[in-house]
Amino acid sequence: MASTQAAAATEQAPTKNPTLLAWVAKMAAMTQPDRIVWCDGSEAEKARLTEQAVKDGTLIPLNPKTRPGCYLHRSNPNDVARVEHLTFICTPNKTDAGPTNNWMEPEAAYTKLSQLFEGCMKGRTMYVVPYAMGPLGGASTKIGVELTDSDYVVLNMRIMTRMGKAALDMLGDSDDFNRGLHSTGDVNPDRRYICHFPQDNTIWSFGSGYGGNVLLGKKCLALRIGSYLGREEGWLAEHMLILGVTSPKGETTYIAAAFPSACGKTNFAMMIPPKEYAGWKIETVGDDIAWMRPGPDGRLYAINPEAGYFGVVPGTNYKTNPNAMETISKDTLFTNVALTPDGDVWWEGKDGEVPEELIDWQGKPWKKGSTEKAAHPNSRFTAPMSNNPVLSGKANDPQGVPISAIIFGGRRSNTVPLVLQAFNWTHGVFLGATMGSETTAAATGKVGVVRRDPMAMLPFCGYHMGDYLQHWLDMQKSIPQLPKIFQVNWFRQDKNGKFIWPGFGENMRVLEWIVNRVQGRVPTQETLLGWVPRQDQGLNLKGLDLPEEAIQEATSIKEDEWKSELKSQEVFFEQLGTKAPEALMLQRKLLIARLDG
């Protein structure tokens, strides 16, 4: 059987790369597919796979008049999100994975998963999906090859990456590629594993069909493996959006920003400035992931390794994110949203009236007023970034864009002010390391508990978090022109629990101040925590219907709250043990001393 599969793999292969051919043959011998298909990324292949997916029920065509080129997919109800508790970092030494990751010894993981993969593709097709993460030909771009038995995965990878012949051509005869193996298996949660082998540049995913677990170029390669490679090679793989903001004078500033989930990341990346900012322009380089490395001119350059957007749908509408709504108007795959009688899609928070009747995300009848959600709260869209009306012309630039500012932002009802600037790089890393968001009742049963999420990377860092933070500190040595670092918080609440700051497009006012600080155009007020806008030459509040006391509350720094904050940070740093970077411990001591003084 093994020799037959090896022959099949070799005969059909559009490459002579010996390492790749041998690996595909070995994986085919284990999984025993009926056919091996090498994907070329062509339009004809897309049409063929789409037709096949519709025929087998994987995809449901939507109304071609209202959603041209769009389809709906329903995943297994037990398979609707990333599974952090089943996601493993497989390093020889448990310490290397660190206390914030699940760990499995590599040989044990290979043995356990090999038993699951053995013969799992009998009666199925193995698709060989070569793909590039990053613009083709770029020095920062990485090549991966994913073997999968899911046509849904292939069609998503086509949107999310530069997939097919071009990636294979870029790889050539090199053995430097990520080896990804995926099978949906029988979608049994008891046999579901997403295992990363950083030293082998390998990812094995079994038992899931959900995007975050099976689109191996995304969180798996771009962040977990990417962060490990970044430390080894001297760059940063980060869970960050990248945007360009252009002033009426034509001056463009590029900014990277990290926000945990439910903090408005995609909205910020595609923001439309308010009418008071006529002539200003926001353009999206990336909405989720940034690979950043020092450039020859001493600045930090970032690329978006992805080619599409895999976003959360509920709450997306023409008020919160009109550019996202335009992006998903065509050639989009929707997962676990509701279906309208006329063949359109619907989700909670969509514009317009709630329909009287729908087919819900599980394919069941749904009536208006039901206590059940029509669309799953984690329902998704997969859309090409080329659909984005404000896509930056630099989004496909192999050189990337020079980053002038880095923003860290969490969801906090108090303590953290609307915006502040770090004193220096080390202080900025401290702000990023200690960022977090407050839990909701839906998440934990407790409200207001701060969940630390350093740099929004807690679920995605492929090695010890202490080493990761030290790598951030060490990067200072190789970036002569360091980006300025800022912290923002759109979610401060008043005594009645109402958000003080209006957010959305009005965040442009904060962004303008950040740009002015980067360009050295406005003075600041120094506080114990960092530099904040001055009242006389600070935020542009023209046309904003907010009383002065509300602005003061949103930007206030209260020492008693910060004393409690610093105490609560202890738990996180204690978790890192001896690997907690000394420079960050010193920052913390200095802040405590300033507050106590």
Residues with a catalytic annotation lie at 263
Burial of 10 per CB tally in 10 Å (0-12, 13-18, 19+): middle
561 is written with which tokens?
Answer: 């709250």
- Residue type, position 84, single letter: E
Residue at token pair 């990277």: 256
Segment (H or E) for 41: none
CA distances in angstroms from 240 to 257, 340, 534, listed in the order given: 5, 34, 28
Give the list of residues 6+ apart from residue 502 with CB closer than 8 angstroms, or none: 544, 546
DSSP code, position 488: E
CA torsion, ordered 580, 583, 586, 592, to nearest 10 deg: -80
Q: Which of 155, 197, 180, 145 lies closest to 45, judged by CA?
A: 155
Q: Convert 359-391 into a string of H (helix), E (strand) and C (coil).
A: ECCCCCEEECCCCCCCCCCCCEEEEEHHHCCCE
Cβ-contact 106, 18 below 8 angstroms: no
Q: Which of 343, 266, 481, 328 lies closest to 64, judged by CA?
A: 343
CA distances in angstroms from 70 to 153, 366, 582, listed in the order given: 16, 22, 52
Q: What are phi and psi of 452, to 5 degrees?
A: -65, 135
CA torsion, ordered 226, 229, 235, 237, to nearest 10 deg: 10
